[in-house]
């Protein structure tokens, strides 16, 4: 019997992945770049038991038993097993897999990326595989490949038809830019969003702007972003991040029928950030939005206190909210009166944001050795049962 428990981080792209050239292998039409967020506040956790006593392979996700015949799950398992020594005794044993996120999936925060990275990372440990497993995580969920590494990560689109060169590489470790901070603004929204899988498929089929973006804009932008990250050039990093988020949503709108992920609150956040940067005379905050209305702000530690104060002022929590700010302890600052005066015209009704997570760039997946951390008993039964 073998048991492994791993945790894997969320990542937030600053150059966006949108569009596949191969739906089965999950090969993208352009490179993308992301930062991996700290495991502390947002992560997926997966325990795997591999045992000759298990009569079948089972998979629980967030407390619910999942079908194990899903294409994505099977692809990951098959590709991992290809790398295993075929004589390994326990290769034929069944698996019990239990996975959960420590943040609300309702928040729509890249949970599948963390989830598949965690699954593949844990499987690799079970079967004692080394090497770059990011291309296997990619087959579960494209952006999962980037969660295999900490710090700043590039997903190289690759060129081969078998996808062997479509994998993630680390641009810089999490220690490279220690001042970088992240605020995740979770927007209150009841609108059902389009799945990103079907949205990007429709974009590839119908958006003429997407073809142009992938072929002619992203390659240059990727180079510029890597240079900005390596040089810790915040101003360039921030502008490219905002431009690429906007262009990704532009492509969604150019899709037919269009996909909308930004709502009026997202728009208010974007306008607030531009207003703030302009008012301060320099770029201090950058926003980026994935396939949903939630904002992710990249900013430097020195500016966090004021930005937190501004968010609290412009987007007041409902009177019932006690834990509006989650994650790291938020620094406190009073907005100066003159700035509050001009800010007052940007104020939103309370309750537009659900909550805010304050976090930072962090490391890649890791193994938890304490038996208390396992989600499964040694006989492969989820502890929650």
Residues that bind a copy of itself (CB under 8 A): 208-209, 212-213, 216-217, 239, 242-243, 246-247, 249-258, 260, 263-264, 267, 270-271, 274
Task: Report how far residue 18's alpha carbon sits from residue 11's, in angstroms, rounded to the nearest whole number.
Answer: 15
Give, as one character, the DSSP assignment of residue 293: S
- As measured in angstroms, the least distance from the Cβ of 230 to a copy of itself is 23
| Residue among 26, 181, 54, 185 nearest 112 (CA) | 26
- As measured in angstroms, the least distance from the Cβ of 270 to a copy of itself is 6
Give, as one character, the DSSP assignment of residue 382: B
SS3 for 136-163 is HHHCCCHHHHHHHCCCEEEECCCCCCCC
Give me the DSSP letters along 89-116.
Answer: GGGGSEEEEEEEESS-GGG--SHHHHHH
- As measured in angstroms, the least distance from the Cβ of 208 to a copy of itself is 5
**Nearer of residues 136 and 218 to a copy of itself, judged by Cβ:** 218
**Nearer of residues 159 and 279 to a copy of itself, judged by Cβ:** 279
**Nearer of residues 135 and 265 to a copy of itself, judged by Cβ:** 265
**Nearer of residues 271 and 341 to a copy of itself, judged by Cβ:** 271
CA-to-CA dists, residue 38 to 13, 363, 364, 373, angstroms: 14, 6, 8, 18
- As measured in angstroms, the least distance from the Cβ of 279 to a copy of itself is 13
- As measured in angstroms, the least distance from the Cβ of 246 to a copy of itself is 5
CB atoms within 10 A of CB 321: 14
- As measured in angstroms, the least distance from the Cβ of 280 to a copy of itself is 14
**Nearer of residues 216 and 329 to a copy of itself, judged by Cβ:** 216
Q: Is the link from the previous residue into 257 a cis peptide, with omega within 30 of 0?
A: yes
**Nearer of residues 125 and 239 to a copy of itself, judged by Cβ:** 239
């Amino acid at each position: 019997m073998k048991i492994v428990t791993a945790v894997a981080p969320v990542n937030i792209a600053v150059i966006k992945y949108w569009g596949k050239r191969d739906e089965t292998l999950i090969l993208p039409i352009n490179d993308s770049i992301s930062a991996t967020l700290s495991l502390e506040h947002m992560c997926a956790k997966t325990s795997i038991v591999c045992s000759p006593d298990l009569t079948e392979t089972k998979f629980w996700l967030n407390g619910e038993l999942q079908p194990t015949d899903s294409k994505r799950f099977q692809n990951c398992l098959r590709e991992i097993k290809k790398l295993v020594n075929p004589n390994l005794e326990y290769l034929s044993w069944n698996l019990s897999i239990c996975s959960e996120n420590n943040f609300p999936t309702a928040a729509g925060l890249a949970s599948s990326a963390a989830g598949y990275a965690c699954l593949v990372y844990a499987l690799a440990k079970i079967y004692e595989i080394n090497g770059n497993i990011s291309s296997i995580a990619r087959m579960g969920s494209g952006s999962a490949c980037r969660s295999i590494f900490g710090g700043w990560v590039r997903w190289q689109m690759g060129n081969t038809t078998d996808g062997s060169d479509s994998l993630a590489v680390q641009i810089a470790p999490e220690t490279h830019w220690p001042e970088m901070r992240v605020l995740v603004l979770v927007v209150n929204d009841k609108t059902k969003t389009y799945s990103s899988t079907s949205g990007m498929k429709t974009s590839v089929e119908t958006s003429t702007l997407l073809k142009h973006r992938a072929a002619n804009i992203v390659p240059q932008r990727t180079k510029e972003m890597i240079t900005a990250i390596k040089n810790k050039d915040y101003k360039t990093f921030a502008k490219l991040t905002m431009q690429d988020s906007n262009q990704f949503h532009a492509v969604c709108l150019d899709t037919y029928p269009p996909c909308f992920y930004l709502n009026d609150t997202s728009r208010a956040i974007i306008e607030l950030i531009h207003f703030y940067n302009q008012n301060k005379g320099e770029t201090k905050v950058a926003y980026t939005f994935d396939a949903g209305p939630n904002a992710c702000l990249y900013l430097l530690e020195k500016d966090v206190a004021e930005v937190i104060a501004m968010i609290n002022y412009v987007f007041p929590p409902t009177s019932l909210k006690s834990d509006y700010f989650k994650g790291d302890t938020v620094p406190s600052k009073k907005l100066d009166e003159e700035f509050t005066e001009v800010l007052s015209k940007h104020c939103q009704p309370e309750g537009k944001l659900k909550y805010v997570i304050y976090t930072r760039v962090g490391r890649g997946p890791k193994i938890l050795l304490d038996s208390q951390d396992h989600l499964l008993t040694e006989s492969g039964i989820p502890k929650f049962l």
